[in-house]
Amino acid sequence: MPFTVATWNINSVRLRMPIVERLLKEHAPDVLCLQETKVPDELFPEKAFRKAGYEHILFHGQKGYHGVATVARRPIELVEKRRFCEIDDSRHLSVRVQAGGKSVLVHNFYVPAGGDEPDPEINRKFRHKLDFVQEMNGVPASADESSASILVGDLNIAPQEHDVWSHKQLLNVVSHTPVETTNFEAMRKAGGWVDLMRLNVPAEQKLYTWWSYRAKDWEASNRGRRLDHVWSSANLLPDFTGYEILQAARGWQKPSDHVPVMAKFDLD
């Protein structure tokens, strides 16, 4: 049995419970990291997760905005709910889980979207996004012979040319501007993180995890972006056996604009 970790920005966990249950039933990840839960902790739908076999539930939520949660079929231990940029947004949660004799630290992130104007001088949300990514330098891929790290989430940046439907047309669009993509890749590499979704995929192959709600037909226009990511420490590479972007979920009833990404490891 492989060890699987999935990430999904579900844009309101309460509204999206039916399709979250579908994911759990059809794909049964060992650990599921959710972003944009948009629910305060006291109203988190724990019962539905327990009923689906996910009895281990940790959340870091707030009213109305943001919010992350990590649920699992096996025990998870809370490590940290980190605060970034000295702002009390719920954007991070890390947990420890045992898999294949290793202790695995799983970070769940929701990076700020950054607003519309890609100029930190006039757009405080873009400034916040840049500062947040800078501060992620303080989250390295810690690892030794008995421990490893995984970092997943909606990181709201599509770093590579073929992580967007049109590199040229998105160069000045928040999520794909050079200042974002350059700093993002520098932070990832400095932290010792491996981009698992690109590891065995040619650079010229398009990869998307998000399709706008605003398209008339998201599938026909296919103007996607790879905003959701799965990273790991280098010592997990021998155990990494592949991943799947569950694109079909974009067409499920009342979908999120993001789809789940699920990575598999030969650990149990």
Partner DNA sequence: ATGGTCGGCCCCCGA
Closer residue to DNA in complex, CB, 65/142: 65
Q: In terms of CB distance, is 8 or 240 closer to DNA?
A: 8
CA atoms of 24 and 29, how far apart (whole Å): 7
DSSP 8-state symbol, 223: -
Using the rule CB under 7 A, is 253 a contact of DNA? no
Residue closer to DNA (CB basis): 110 or 240: 110
154 in active site:
yes
| DSSP E strands, 10-91 | 31-35, 56-60, 68-72, 77-80
Q: Is 65 in the site for DNA (CB under 7 A)?
A: yes
| Catalytic-residue membership of 89 | no
E-strand stretches of the chain: 3-9, 31-35, 56-60, 68-72, 77-80, 92-99, 102-110, 147-154, 193-195, 210-211, 224-225, 228-233, 240-245, 261-265
Query: Is 56 annotated for ligand binding?
Result: no
Stretch that binds DNA, among 62-70, 75-83, 184-192, 229-237 (CB under 7 A): 62-70
Cα separation, 252 vs 255, whole angstroms: 5
Spatial distance between the Cα atoms of 102 and 87, rounded to a whole number of angstroms: 33
Q: Cα(103)–Cα(95) distance, rounded to whole angstroms?
A: 10
Active site residue 65: no
- Contacting range for DNA; rule: CB under 7 A; set: 6-14, 50-58, 71-79, 180-188: 6-14
36 assigned to a ligand binding site: yes
Q: Which residues on adjacent β-strands are paired with residue 95?
A: 78, 106
Q: Which of 54, 107, 110, 229 is catalytic?
A: 110
Least spacing, CB of residue 213 vs DNA, in Å: 4
Q: Is 112 in the site for DNA (CB under 7 A)?
A: yes
Quick note: the x/- pattern for DNA over 196-215, rule CB under 7 A, is -----------------xx-
Of the listed 154, 163, 228, 239, which one is catalytic?
Answer: 154
Q: Which are the catalytic amino acids?
A: 110, 154, 258
